Amino acid sequence: MSRYRGPRFKKIRRLGALPGLTSKRPGSGSGPRSQPRSGKRSQYRIRLEEKQKLRFHYGLTERQLLRYVRIAGKAKGSTGQVLLQLLEMRLDNILFRLGMASTIPGARQLVNHRHVLVNGRIVDIPSYRCKPRDIITTRNEQRSKVLVQNSMDSASREELPKHLTLDSSQYKGVVNQIIDSKWVGLKINELLVVEYYSRQT
C-alpha cells in the first residue's frame, strides 16, 4: 500500500488530530466522528483506527510501519514504546518537532531535496534514525534557510520536547537524548497498534 496522498481533512475527521499530516484544522462541526453509523465500534475497528492514526501522522506506508513493528518486537523493552521511539527519532519527524518544517510531509520534502545536514553531512533519507548528540542544520544556502525560516515563522509556539534543542538563529537543532514517551507528539494507544499486527500474523 502506498503513502496516502488524498484529502487530509477526511482522515482528521475520522481519526482525530494528526498534527504531522497537516498544520491546518477543519472548520467547526467537523471534528472526529467517534461513532460510526452502524453503532458500537468493534475491537478490530478500534485497533485498526489506532494503527491508521499512527501511519497517517508519521506519513508511512503499510509496509514501512509493519517493518518498524517487527524491529520494535525484537528490541528490549515494551514493543509499543520502542515503536514510538523509532518513529519519533526519524529525521523527518525531528525536523517537524523542531519547527523547521510545518508538517512531516514538508520535512520529508526538505530532506529529499537535500536541504538538510546531519553532523555537517547532507542526508537525503527521511527515515534516517537520529541519535543523541546529532546536530541538524540547513545547508548554507539562501534557498534552504528561507524554506526553514518560513516554517519556523508559521509554527505554533508549542513547548519543545525535552529531547531536542533549537537554535533558531543558526537554523540548528540538537538531539539531546532518546525521546521519553510522554513527549511523543501524538495521542495514541500504541498497545492497540501492536495488538493489531499481532492478530494479523
From-to residues of CATH 3.10.290.10 in the chain: 90-178
pTM: 0.83
Is residue 117 scored above 50 in pLDDT?
A: yes
Q: What is the pLDDT of residues 23-35, one digit of tens each?
A: 555 444 444 444 4
Q: Percentage of the chain surpassing pLDDT 90?
A: 63
From-to residues of CATH 1.10.1050.10 in the chain: 8-86+186-198
What integer pLDDT is reported at residue 62 of this predicted model? 93
Is residue 12 scored above 80 in pLDDT?
A: no
More confident position, 16 or 191: 191
Is residue 5 scored above 90 in pLDDT?
A: no
Domain 90-178 has CATH 3.10.290.10: yes
What integer pLDDT is reported at residue 22 of this predicted model? 57
C-alpha atoms less than 13 angstroms from C-alpha of 125 in its C-beta half-sphere? 8
Residues 103-132, mean pLDDT to the nearest whole number: 96
CATH fit for domain 8-86+186-198, picks 3.40.50.1450, 1.10.1050.10, 3.60.15.10, 1.20.120.80: 1.10.1050.10
pLDDT band at 39 (very low <50, low <70, confident <90, very high): low
What SS3 class is residue 186?
A: coil
More confident position, 101 or 200: 101
What integer pLDDT is reported at residue 21 of this predicted model? 55
- DSSP bridge pairs for 109: none
Is residue 102 scored above 80 in pLDDT?
A: yes
Residues 179-200, mean pLDDT to the nearest whole number: 88
In the sheet that 164-167 helps form, which strands lie side by side, from edge to edge?
121-122, 116-118, 135-138, 172-175, 164-167
Q: Which of 103-117, 138-152, 154-168, 172-186 has the lowest mean pLDDT?
A: 154-168
pLDDT band at 1 (very low <50, low <70, confident <90, very high): very low
Residues near 187 by beta carbon (within 8 Å), at least 6 away in sequence: 16, 17
Residues 5-24, mean pLDDT to the nearest whole number: 53
